[in-house]
Amino acid sequence: MSQTLTLDEIEDLAKRVLLSAGATADAAASVARSTRLAERDGIRSHGFLYVPIYAEHLECGKVARDAAPSVTITRPGAVRVDADNGFAHPAIDAGWSAFTDAAKHSGIAAMSIHNSYNCGVLGHHAERIAEAGLIGLCFTHAPASIAPSGGQRPVIGTNPFSLAVPDGEGGVSLVIDQSASVVAKSEILLRSRTGEPIEPGWALDIEGHETTDPDLALKGSMLPAGGYKGFGVGLMVEILAAALSGANLSTEASPFSGTKGGPPGTGQFFIAIDPDAFGGPTFGASMARLCTSITEQDGTRLPGGRRRDNRSQIEVKGVKVDDALLQRIERLVRS
């Protein structure tokens, strides 16, 4: 059985849970907003499902309750944020104005975040950059879950990257958001919680054998998308989001699920590019032609199209939430 909640109710309940678990008002508001956006786009694995995990991590110390992000401008166009082992979202917010202002002033800027945590749906951060009229290119890494081709020991995380392009009217023309793995690890976590098998080709068990059991997959290794090419993409993300940002490597980060280990200390790396500084007036026209070359073909859609379709429906119809999950979350507010 399930109940239908509005997005306002989703955000409000998530915020109350986080406040009850000891999050600061700013952190609770930022993470609750992220939860709302995930549910709005139909990305359940990063939405309400994660709220009890956030609360658990506040209570066990994997996320610092009193974190105070600090921002350093190391060079013109270079912003460095220390998340202070708190949530990634308020740390990103803390450096946001300096980051985007620098991009508009210099044509390009970058922001690194370290001592951080799971930043939710990476594409939402890239979209936020694009909505400011800038091209957004974002990277984030995660605790190790993918072994190199031919190996069995995980070295990198699912390590997604995202690219969002502005449409020239305050919106976004397309969003690419993909991980180095065949599927996001949070999807396997969701299958584990619901008791559903995973698809063949998603993961290996601890002995290196392909499995459709989500619990065995969580103990083993995710499979990279495209074999060694996918591992290469994940390695690129690792270099930028972890090594360059001064974060723990994926092999050094504690899990994003469960209470084992202290703060994961992961990182993010964002780049913002002002199209006017490079392509000038030709960029918008070029993007229009590029997008048309895709959409004019029957059966196609631009990257991010499914999320936009979900938004148009979910904003009107609301979100169906499993009764067991809803009861679990409501208990967290009362406790």
Return the active site residues. Answer: 45-46, 187
CB of 233 closer than 8 Å to CB of 161: yes
Rounded CA gap, 218 and 161, in Å? 22
Q: Which helix (DSSP H) or strand (DSSP E) does residue 139 occupy? A: strand 135-140
Amino acid at the residue 236: M
Round to whole Å and give the CA distance between 157 and 250: 6
Please name the residue ranges forming H helices in 118-248: 122-131, 185-194, 214-219, 228-237
C-alpha atoms less than 13 angstroms from C-alpha of 29 in its C-beta half-sphere: 4
Cα 125 to Cα 266, 271, 290: the distances in Å are 16, 11, 23
Angle, alpha carbons 306-307-311 (nearest 5°): 120
The two three-digit tokens of residue 235, written as one number: 């390695």
How far apart (Å, rounded) are the C-alpha atoms in residues 205 and 19?
Answer: 37
Dihedrals phi, psi of 49, to nearest 5 degrees: -55, -30
Residue bearing tokens 């495209």: 226
